[in-house]
């Protein structure tokens, strides 16, 4: 189990990964043609690792378990996996729908993290 300082470090890592992935999504959405989604594979691996670490953090720091955040991260990882699995030459509309779904999942994960950090959720 990790200390409260570890929570801060974990949230900072999560913020960096979510911001970077959303930037990658914007870049992929702007690009024409079937650009390689390998950058999303990196985000998928990072979010999977963060989700695993979430279970090891000290639950005494946060009043309620981070179940909502964990589910949001799992959904994001699944959406990233689906986007990464799209074959080369996938129709642009399908590609853009997949990117939009990943973007929504990333935003939802960020919202869940922010919700978890609201002052009344922290233990004194």
Say what the pLDDT of residue 35 is. Answer: 59
What digits encode the pLDDT tens for the residues 7-64?
888 899 999 999 999 999 998 888 865 556 788 899 999 999 998 888 777 666 665 5
The Cα 3–Cα 56 span in angstroms is 10
CA torsion angle 114 15 109 56 (round to 10): -90
Average pLDDT, the chain: 83
pLDDT band, residue 121 (cuts 50/70/90): very low
Structure tokens at 79: 């959406």
d(CA 114, CA 111): 5
Whether residue 102 contacts residue 83, with contact meaning beta carbons closer than 8 Å, is answered with yes
Integer Cα distance of 77 and 116 in angstroms: 19
| Sign of the four-CA dihedral 97, 83, 9, 59 | positive
pLDDT at 117: 76
- pLDDT at residue 39, rounded to an integer: 85
Domains and CATH numbers, the chain: 4-121 (1.20.120)
pTM given for the model: 0.83
Question: Which helix (H) or strand (E) is 96 found in, with range?
Answer: helix 92-116
pLDDT digits (tens, 9 = 90+) for 59-102: 666 655 578 888 999 999 999 999 999 888 888 899 899 999 99
How far apart are alpha carbons 45 and 5 in whole angstroms? 23
């Amino acid at each position: 189990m990790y200390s409260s300082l570890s929570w801060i470090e974990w949230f900072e890592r999560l913020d960096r990964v979510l911001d970077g992935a959303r930037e990658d999504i914007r870049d992929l959405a702007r690009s024409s043609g079937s650009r390689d989604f390998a950058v999303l594979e990196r985000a998928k691996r990072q979010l999977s690792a963060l989700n695993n670490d979430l279970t090891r953090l000290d639950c005494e720091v946060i009043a309620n378990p981070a179940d909502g955040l964990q589910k949001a991260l799992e959904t994001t990882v699944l959406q990233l996996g689906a986007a990464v699995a799209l074959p080369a030459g996938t129709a642009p509309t399908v590609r853009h729908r997949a990117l939009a779904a990943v973007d929504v999942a990333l935003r939802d994960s960020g919202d869940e993290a922010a919700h978890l950090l609201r002052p009344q959720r922290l233990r004194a």
